[in-house]
Structure 1
Amino acid sequence: MDKIPKTMKALVAYSKTDYRFEPEYPVPECGPDDILIKTEGCGICAGDLKCRHGAAMFWGDEEQPSWVESPFIPGHEFLGIVEFAGENVKDCVVGDRITVDQIAPCGECRFCKDGHYWMCQPHKIYGFFKDYCGGMAEYVRIPAKHSVIHKVPKEMPLQDALLIEPYSCSKHCVDRAQIGCEDIVVLSGAGTLGLGMITYAKLKTPKKLIVLDMIDARLEKALEFGADIVWNPSKVDVAAEIMKLTEGYGCDIYIEATGHPSSVTQGMQMIRKLGRFVEFSVFGAPTLLDWSIIGDRKELDVLGAHLSPYCFPFVIENIAGGKLKTDGVVSRFYSLEDWEEAFEYSTGKYGDFKVAFKF
């Protein structure tokens, strides 16, 4: 590591109220089991925003303990070039272009041992822990034994490569839905993750793929990415329209990808009996729902989707091959010094899908 600088630019979270750009933060020290990458880019996730704004699921409250371990460097949607690979590291050499699963599995808990590594009990995730700092820095240390590492084609444009992690989450969610060719599918939310779901769900050839969003520009993008029908719930009674389309039965599958409580209750209204409801989002507020609709009235399958297990290889191959659409999703790049503006634009309020840092 003699040629690697001692310091780097980094965004550091010291507490929920103290995020700082550090122009000379120490480059992580690496041992024989570590990889050090020079960061090429890092996307900003909704989870990064919610953590920045002090959400209890990250920093804790009177009902739950803090989950994050500060100080940490945010960012789990990153990739870069290997600058150092320890002597015990296998299948990875200096010069490789790599990314990693968001989860850093311990390898010892019951979930890791039975193949469900993404539900690892300690649940260390890149970008939220001081020992697993993320990609909002010029260098990232990757403990190889506790990381799921993937090679990224060198010729893949950065704006496409930055979608590998979010699209992998999208794929896992759609896989949970078990879409068949006779299914009428409603997908609520056409942000970055929703677009990833749309372009992948289209490969499943559902009978109809219907996308909902409150922003018309997102609905236009949803059509471009494969939606058959798009509706804006602020302008259309979407539940009534679904009933018209399905002879009063309702949709077969509803995928919730907005994180807004109204999208949950909306979905429960429009889904048919014995339907399948898949919840993906992280919520900023509680959802109130009469649970009898799940059991006594409709006998629904209600499923969750968390992270992106076993999805990266497919996503990398099919982004590279053009089967998963990416055009225009990464809409804005920032330098790390301008992180506050980058976080502001990544909210989507100015029309962006994905905002990222470029190094």
Structure 2
Amino acid sequence: MSKTMRAIMCREPWDYRLEEVPMPEAGPGEVVIKVSACGVCASDIKCYTGAPLFWGDEHRKPYVEAPVIAGHEFVGEVVELGPGAGEKYKLEIGDTAIAEQIVPCWECRYCRTGKYWLCQVHNIYGFQPVVNGGMADYMKFPARSLVYKVPSEIPTASAAVIEPLACSIHAVQRGNIEFGDVVVVAGAGTLGLGMIGAAKLKNPGVLIAIDLMPKRLEVAKKLGADIGINPSETDAVQEVLDLTEGYGCDVYIEATGHPKAVEQGLHMIRKAGTFVEFSVMREPVTVDWTIIGDTKELNIHGSHLGPYAYPLAIDYIHRGLIEVEHIVTHQLPLTDYLTGFEMVQKGSDSIKVQLVP
């Protein structure tokens, strides 16, 4: 008789259920972990609430293949190693381990040229059942996964922030920050705060955080922001222009997920500046592209996932260079997943909410 476990099963918008499902087993090259914690991401909430990006509409195919176990911000204890997995990943039973959120096919054009995070197949944990996610008692890393050992000294709450921090690091890398640059990070949620911490390591001239919530701006300063701006209290664009003799910021990183932040950035950034778009938008965003081209000749860089950044995220957390403990505000039992979803959707009383099986 096969063993079962608890898992949060995504079935359709607004229909996520705590179910008993078969426990995964490790085949050749595979790893099974006992999940220690799994964060609730803003993209999980967009999926939960039926955003077209995930469920499709007349313009796009569905990204989610339900039913699927949700969750991609996981970390856990190794409990089973399939043949060859221990040697491949330098893991032993009892180690703490994490896998990148994408499981590449390793066969498409992108994978074959080193751009695995843009994999054409694009299996992401928690969105397709071939790579079930971490909102469960146990989960499996398939043989195609990118798996890393996590130092045991890192507390579980901080270790479960490795995935979003890797994404933040990649976004900062896409910003090409130079010494003395005025850098703006719009959005001081989990990802934006990670970007603040990573951008600080680049030694910018001035690092500015923008958010509507004073508590989040306070955390942004703990992570390295020199200035916090609340657009509900002041004209954020004018304030940045005043700080830069009317030129505007050198680098603008958008991490709010709100269309207004895109427009704000286009007006706030200097000519020939670098605009990094990270957010997963609920709906398509329309802007004046003349600003991008004829008016300012901007460098527009997209940012997706956290390629090659997991070892950096692990190292920076381990050495205390980015203090992610300020980001985790709530840990809830797996059974309280709906409460966690509501907290993240509301956003006013939490930053990072994690589910602990």
TM-score of the pair, normalised by structure 2: 0.96
One-letter amino acid matched to 1:39: V
Does residue 42 in structure 1 map to residue 41 in structure 2?
A: no
Residue 75 of structure 1 corresponds to which residue in structure 2? 71
Which of 149, 155, 158 matches 1:157?
Answer: 155
Shift of 1:33: 2.9
Q: What secondary structure does 2:10 align onto?
A: strand
Q: Superposed, which structure 2 residues align to 1:259-274 within 5 Å?
A: 259-274=257-272
Residue 276 of structure 2 corresponds to which residue in structure 1? 278
Which of 226, 231, 250 matches 2:224?
Answer: 226
Does residue 10 in structure 1 map to residue 4 in structure 2?
A: no
Give the whole-Å Cα distance in 2 for the aligned partners of 1:163 and 1:306.
17
Which of 53, 63, 87 matches 2:49?
Answer: 53
Does residue 31 in structure 1 map to residue 27 in structure 2?
A: yes
Give the whole-Å Cα distance in 1 for the aligned partners of 2:347 and 2:256.
14
Give the whole-Å Cα distance in 2 for the aligned partners of 1:47 and 1:60.
15
Shift of 1:17: 4.1
Shift of 1:351: 1.9
Shift of 1:29: 3.5
Q: Superposed, which structure 2 residues align to 1:123-138 within 5 Å?
A: 123-138=122-137
How many residues are treated as equivalent by the alignment?
A: 354
Which of 14, 19, 24 matches 2:16?
Answer: 19
Residue 120 of structure 2 corresponds to which residue in structure 1? 121
Residue 80 of structure 2 corresponds to which residue in structure 1? 84
Shift of 1:284: 1.6
Q: What secondary structure does 1:234 align onto?
A: coil
Shift of 1:348: 4.8
Shift of 1:182: 1.9
One-letter amino acid matched to 2:16: Y
Shift of 1:16: 2.6
Give the whole-Å Cα distance in 2 for the aligned partners of 1:55 and 1:285.
7
Give the whole-Å Cα distance in 2 for the aligned partners of 1:61 and 1:348.
25
Identity %: 49
Residue 60 of structure 2 corresponds to which residue in structure 1? 64
Shift of 1:255: 0.7
Shift of 1:54: 1.1
Give the whole-Å Cα distance in 2 for the aligned partners of 1:343 and 1:164.
20
Does residue 192 in structure 1 map to residue 190 in structure 2?
A: yes
Residue 205 of structure 1 corresponds to which residue in structure 2? 203
Q: What secondary structure does 2:103 align onto?
A: coil
Answer with 238-247 or 188-197: which moved more.
238-247
Structure 1: 4+ residue segments shifted above 3 A: none
Shift of 1:264: 0.7
Give the whole-Å Cα distance in 2 for the aligned partners of 1:157 and 1:33.
27
One-letter amino acid matched to 2:148: H
Q: What secondary structure does 2:350 align onto?
A: coil
Residue 97 of structure 1 corresponds to which residue in structure 2? 96
Q: Which structure 2 segments of 5+ residues have no match?
A: none
Shift of 1:63: 1.4
Q: What secondary structure does 2:320 align onto?
A: coil
Q: Which structure 1 segments of 5+ residues have no match?
A: none
Shift of 1:154: 1.2
Give the whole-Å Cα distance in 2 for the aligned partners of 1:279 and 1:331.
26
Q: What secondary structure does 2:196 align onto?
A: helix
Deviation readout 1:34-88 (Å, 9 max, x if unpaired):
2111111100101111111111111111211112212110101001111111113
Which of 238, 244, 254 matches 2:252?
Answer: 254
Deviation readout 1:308-337 (Å, 9 max, x if unpaired):
000011111110111111233111111111
Give the whole-Å Cα distance in 1 for the aligned partners of 2:151 and 2:11.
35
